[in-house]
Amino acid sequence: MPASDETNKAVNRNEALLTEILKILDSLPSIVPFKDKIEEYLNTLRSAMLGLRSPRIMVIGRSRSGKSSLINAICGLKVAEVSDTKPETGEAEWKDYHHDGVDLLHILDTRGLQEAEAPRKADSAKDPFDSIMQAVNKKCPDVVLFICKASEVHSGSQKDIDICTLILMEIKNKYKRELPMIGVLTKCDEIAPPKLTWSTNDEKKNRNINAEVKNLYGYLQQREKLRFHIKEVVPTVAYAEYEDGRNGLILPDEDYRWNITKLVETMIRYTPRETRSSFARMAHLTEFQLTAANTVVVACSGLSGVVSAIPIPGAAIPAVIAIQTFMVMYIGWLSGREFSEQTIKDFAVTGGVAAGADAGMRAIADITLKFVPGLGSVLSAGASTIATKGLGDAAIAYFLNNGKAHS
């Protein structure tokens, strides 16, 4: 599902905001201090705006290694078809993950490498490599997950690594990007001693899992062309039962997933800065959401102060209001809401009444303070910074902290 018209309009308006801020900064005298800090603020906002695009994950692995199960485990609902016996995925295709109608994540589910028989679903490509490249030519991934069944690290994985290397080199040639790759050990519950419901305190099992993690990482590091790409190997269990139908939720009593949050955190750490907030939003990782929100609040507060320092009464009001609007909509977006003006309306009516009133007084303060001889611009900048920071903290409390003030 593509982003709504309202979201697209809001994104376009805020991209134009950056241009307007740059124009304002160009009008300032060359002796204005903190130029480097201003540039840092602008880069933070630019990254946040670019991050509104959903992240793209490519999943590569051998047939029956658990690729589709892993995709479902990451999303927390059934977005990929899973077969208990035969290969399921045919043509490599980008699958979109939505939550409450919002586009959150794009995943490239691919045919299994070294498949012994054709998958159930038809594919016009002659082999898995061609199938994957057809999809990659449509969109460039942000991160690659190389999947290997924990019990098969020493069984034919070298051929899988050969094919993966060719794919990464083709992507590098086409898009000029060195994609991060994360190795994923799947079906770790089958490692000796095998148990469906198992304890991570089992010393023997942990020792065996850690050994296979080191073995797979070692195999990948042996390839000179992969050394820059491979970041970590994360062991996982992706098995869960889901409600019937597409986008069926995980049945609470049938959730056997393990280490999936660690995998998502690893993806966030090694993907481009612009996509990290989308990952955190998709996986509902509050710690990462709060980090992203606070970073944007600091940048918006700083920019509001800089813009308000312009010694022309009232000139900064439209720019400051636009900065504050973007900040609130972005924090709401992190929580899973649509990036639109409706989000800020909901906040103003229910969650941010006091902060909204304070921000409204900012416009009056801007004009009044600038008439104070000698100190007008300085006082106005300080008031703008404080007001924007207060508004951002209120938005964080409302959208991400369940109404509780953020410390």
pLDDT of residue 195: 65
pLDDT of residue 289: 85
Confidence of residue 79 (pLDDT cuts 50, 70, 90): confident
pLDDT of residue 387: 84
Q: What is the pLDDT of residues 237-278, one digit of tens each?
A: 998 888 887 778 888 888 889 999 899 889 888 877 767 777
pTM for the model stands at 0.65
Among 356, 369, 346, residue whose Cα is nearest residue 321: 356
Confidence of residue 85 (pLDDT cuts 50, 70, 90): very low
Mean pLDDT of the chain: 75
For residues 380, 383, 385, 387, the Cα torsion angle rounded to the nearest 10 degrees is -140
Q: What is the pLDDT of residues 97-140, one digit of tens each?
A: 665 555 667 888 777 675 444 444 444 556 677 888 888 888 88
Distance, CA of 195 to CA of 198 (rounded, Å): 5
Q: What is the pLDDT of residues 136-160, one digit of tens each?
A: 888 888 899 999 999 999 876 788 8
| Cα 140-75-71 angle, rounded to 5 deg | 60
